[in-house]
């Protein structure tokens, strides 16, 4: 079992819709969860982080964490074509030097 | 601030050649990382340096060596390149190795080994 799993996609949504990206992780001791956006040919950039169970909102983005289910998600409201990118879920454990484990990413395509 | 810079941006090597990828950050971060990214594999940690003077192996360290030259610079060396090392290499830094600190990435080096 991969340590951090994401559906590779592509996930295709129409402009203005809500895009829902999901991630599961295997290490129950994980404490920190990050969502990075990566445009084609570019480097990852952080868009959200969450440490506590529940929801965290930042503009059009909402991160949701459920530690009991080992599940973290990212909702993008009012999706725009500029949101088309690969979204990487990253999980940081509490051992081994706090190494960050990345999922393989979900490709999102927002149709105009 | 330039953030995290990497050189070179592109490189083609023949099997058996060696090279060093350079990384520098100007954010006064303590921790630095080297990742490789292959299609469908996500980012995999090669080596990291939690603080100046320390380095540790990550998930895929074989075939690589690193040097934390000072607080700003962290280099990755391929002693004898192999086609399996064809990848995109990203350097990253974070304020500290602790759980709450996110990583900032450089622009990447695209390496092809023929």
Residues ≥6 apart with Cβ < 8 Å to A69: none
Judge whether A8 is closer than 8 Å to chain B, CB to CB: yes
Can you give the pLDDT at residue A92? 86
The minimum CA-CA distance between A17 and chain B, rounded to whole Å, is 26
Can you give the pLDDT at residue A43? 95
Stretches where chain B sits below pLDDT 50 are: none
Interface A-B, measured as beta-carbon pairs within 8 A, has a size of 53
CB < 8 Å to A94, chain B: 99
Can you give the pLDDT at residue A1? 60
Can you give the pLDDT at residue A55? 95
* Terminal alpha carbon distance of chain B: 36
CB < 8 Å to A100, chain B: 33, 45, 103
Stretches where chain A sits below pLDDT 70 are: 1-2, 94-98
Closest to A101 measured CA to CA, from A27, A12, A21:
A27
Can you give the pLDDT at residue B99? 61
Phi-psi map region of B13: left, alpha, beta (phi>0 left; psi -120 to 50 alpha): beta
Bridge partner residues of A109 (DSSP) = A12
Can you give the pLDDT at residue B93? 94
Can you give the pLDDT at residue A21? 97
Can you give the pLDDT at residue A97? 58
Interface test with B, best of A100, A102, A104 (most B CBs within 10 A): A100
Can you give the pLDDT at residue A31? 85
């Amino acid at each position: 079992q991969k340590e951090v799993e994401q559906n590779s996609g592509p996930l295709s949504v129409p402009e203005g819709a809500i895009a829902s990206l999901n991630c599961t992780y295997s290490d129950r001791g994980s404490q920190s969860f990050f969502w990075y956006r990566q445009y084609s040919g570019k480097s990852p950039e952080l868009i959200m982080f969450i440490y506590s169970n529940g929801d965290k909102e930042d503009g059009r983005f909402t991160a949701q964490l459920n530690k009991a289910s080992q599940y973290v998600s990212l909702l993008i409201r009012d999706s725009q074509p500029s949101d088309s990118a690969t979204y990487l879920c990253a999980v940081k454990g509490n051992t081994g030097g706090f190494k960050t484990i990345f999922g393989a990413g979900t490709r999102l395509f927002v149709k105009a | 601030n330039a953030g995290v810079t990497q050189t070179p941006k592109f490189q083609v090597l023949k099997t058996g050649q060696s090279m060093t990828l350079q990384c520098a950050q100007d954010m006064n971060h303590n921790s630095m990382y080297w990742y490789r990214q292959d299609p469908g594999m996500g980012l995999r940690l090669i080596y990291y340096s939690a603080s100046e003077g320390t380095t540790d192996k990550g998930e895929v360290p074989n075939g690589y060596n690193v040097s934390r030259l000072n607080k700003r610079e962290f280099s990755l060396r391929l002693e004898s390149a192999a086609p399996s090392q064809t990848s995109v290499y990203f350097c990253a830094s974070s304020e500290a190795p602790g759980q709450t600190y996110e990583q900032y990435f450089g622009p990447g080096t695209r390496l092809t080994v023929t």
